[in-house]
Each structure stands twice: as C-alpha cells, then as structure tokens.
C-alpha cells in the first residue's frame, strides 16, 4: 500500500506502479495479492482510469475472499467523487452478487 501512497498524483510513478502490480499479481503469494487493490486505490483515488477499473473488476471475482473484498473497497475509493456510470453499475452488480 505504501507504493500507492508514494506514487499518488504522479504520472510516471503511477505507470511504474502498474508494472509492479502486474508482477505482484502474477508472482506474489496470497497475502501480497490482498494488498494490491488497496495500493491501486491509494494511487488512483477519485481518478477512475479504465485500466485500473478493469484490473479491480477482475480482482473482485478472485477466489480469495480477502482479495475480492479489498478490490470492491478499492473500486469505491477509485470511483469516489466521479460520475462514472460503468463503475456504479459494476458496484451494483457486486452488491447483488455478494448478498
């Protein structure tokens, strides 16, 4: 999560964070995968980038319950204050799915 805070609001840093996150998701153990959505949320708070939303959407359907919950929370943080109807629809579907 510290990576997300360090790269917050910086263009080049967020691009580098995307590459690091891809490697962490591919090679990291489950405990590391749980922190990835929160790092993305800190880096892209109120900045609903489509690539990040897609990544979080995939992580919200992860087999690990902790990873999926963190991804849903991260989707809320990324979409906070924006008027993104696609993200709002995803969150509505997830709320119906996780009842």
Residue 32 structural domain: 2-97
Confidence of residue 69 (pLDDT cuts 50, 70, 90): very high
Structural domains in the chain (count)? 1
Q: How far is 14 from 33, CA to CA, in rounded Å?
A: 18
HSE at residue 58, side-chain half, CA atoms within 13 A, is 9
pTM of the predicted structure, to 2 decimals: 0.87
3-state helix vs strand vs coil in the chain, percent to 5: 75, 0, 25
Q: How far is 10 from 14, CA to CA, in rounded Å?
A: 6
Give the 3-state secondary structure of residue 29: coil
Minimum mean pLDDT among 1-5, 38-42, 44-48, 94-98: which range? 1-5
* pLDDT score for 99: 63
Does the pLDDT at position 21 exceed 70?
yes
């Amino acid at each position: 999560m510290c990576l997300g805070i360090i790269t917050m609001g910086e263009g080049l840093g967020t691009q580098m964070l995307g590459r690091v996150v891809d490697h962490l998701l591919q090679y990291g153990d489950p405990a590391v995968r749980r922190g990835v959505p929160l790092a993305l949320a800190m880096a892209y708070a109120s900045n609903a980038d489509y690539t990040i939303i897609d990544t979080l959407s995939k992580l919200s359907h992860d087999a690990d319950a902790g990873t999926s919950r963190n991804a849903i929370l991260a989707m809320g943080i990324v979409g906070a204050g924006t008027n993104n109807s696609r993200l709002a629809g995803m969150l509505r579907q997830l709320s119906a799915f996780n009842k």
